[in-house]
């Protein structure tokens, strides 16, 4: 059984639309924050940061979704890499992870569950993260992800609110996982034909080990590009930082299959909801419909968008390219204007 045929939507495209999510959250009375809570959900950052001491803070996040690929072990790898990414996006290192598993016992064999957990375990072993347990339920559809805890120095957090004017924007992975995996679900592609995309989604966004401490401090802000697309996540960074992010369309890295699948109209609901979410805050200086769609494409286990001190950008990019061959300088941070994001 092909896992993508067991669900209506898969991966980060299954997220609740950002506009609806904001409406819901605005009506919830959350507990009063502890002074040691340095980052909460108020700015739609990637993870929460809780200060434990002067030199230690916890990074906490969770992520889970329905199958985005057909192979169970590969689904486990992608889900794990995607979950760990939020910790990396805050400048932290993940330490422990717990599984979130919903499994349809009546329709899928136990081996599927074993393979999903093994794929996730393999990623955590490579990332030196401890897999410490989790929780499972019998459900109608398969869902899997992780709750992750990591460490970061309280003064070295890569919050999405710290982008500075003049910073260079670096994107570590290509765009297009949403449209390519939509083609897979429509059975217009096989997994064998989309190896580049699968390898990218299964790759962890670990970057700190590539950098010197000085270079790490040169990264002022970060976010990982997932279900709300480049447009949505960059808008959230710009809003939080009270800046405008300016991108060059021709520099945005895309998977080779992305434009092919967009031409075939292999789209998800998230392409539309991401466009609606950003429509009043985004200026796209292109008449190409596909140029616009790639900005709204819901990424699963997408790359990090880094806001980097200009004098260190080239050195940092060289280091990143050792692991992320498609990492690219894609734009700059400018003073706040009428739009939070401008794409030339």
Pairing of strands 304-308, 219-224: antiparallel
User: In the structure encoding, which two tokens stand for residue 26, read together?
Assistant: 């605005």
C-beta of residue 332 within 8 angstroms of C-beta of residue 167: yes
What is the rounded CA–CA span in Å between residue 88 and residue 224? 9
* H helix intervals, the chain: 18-25, 72-89, 110-126, 177-185, 195-201, 213-217, 229-241, 258-263, 269-278, 289-296, 313-320
* List 12, 113, 261, 266, catalytic entry: 12
* DSSP designation for 335: E
What is the rounded CA–CA span in Å between residue 177 and residue 271? 12
Token pair 């990492």 in the structure block, residue: 327
Active site residue 12: yes
Q: How many helices (H) and strands (E) does the chain have?
A: 11, 13
What is the rounded CA–CA span in Å between residue 220 and residue 333? 11
H/E element, 222: strand 219-224
Catalytic residues: 12
């Amino acid at each position: 059984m092909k896992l993508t045929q067991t669900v209506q939507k898969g991966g980060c495209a299954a997220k609740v639309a950002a506009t609806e999510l904001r409406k819901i959250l605005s009506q919830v009375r959350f507990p009063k924050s502890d002074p040691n809570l340095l980052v909460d959900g108020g700015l739609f950052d990637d993870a929460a940061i809780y200060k434990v001491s002067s030199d230690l803070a916890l990074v906490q996040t969770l992520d889970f979704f329905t199958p985005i690929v057909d192979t169970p072990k590969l689904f486990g790898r992608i889900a794990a890499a995607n979950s760990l990414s939020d910790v990396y996006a805050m400048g932290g290192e993940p330490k422990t992870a717990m599984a979130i598993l919903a499994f349809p016992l009546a329709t899928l064999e136990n081996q599927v569950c074993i393979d999903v957990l093994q794929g996730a375990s393999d990623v955590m072993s490579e990332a030196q993260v401890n897999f410490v347990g989790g929780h499972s339920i019998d459900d109608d559809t398969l869902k899997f992800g992780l709750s992750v805890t990591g460490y970061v120095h309280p003064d070295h957090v890569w919050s999405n609110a710290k982008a500075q004017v003049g910073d260079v924007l670096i994107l570590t992975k290509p765009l297009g996982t949403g449209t390519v995996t939509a083609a897979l679900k429509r059975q217009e592609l096989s997994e064998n034909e989309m190896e580049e995309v699968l390898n990218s989604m299964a790759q962890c966004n670990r970057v700190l080990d590539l950098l010197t401490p000085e270079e790490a401090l040169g990264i002022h802000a970060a976010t990982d590009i997932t279900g709300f697309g480049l447009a949505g996540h960059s808008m959230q960074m710009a809003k939080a930082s009270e800046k405008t992010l300016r991108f060059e369309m021709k520099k945005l890295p895309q998977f080779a299959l992305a434009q092919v699948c967009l031409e075939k109209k292999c789209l998800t609901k998230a392409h539309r909801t991401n466009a609606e979410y950003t429509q009043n805050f985004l200026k796209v200086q292109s008449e190409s419909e596909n140029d616009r769609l790639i900005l709204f494409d819901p990424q699963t286990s997408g790359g990090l968008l880094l806001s980097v001190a200009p004098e260190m950008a080239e050195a940092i990019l060289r280091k990143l390219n050792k692991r992320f061959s498609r990492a690219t300088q894609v734009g700059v941070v400018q003073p706040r204007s009428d739009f939070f994001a401008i794409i030339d």
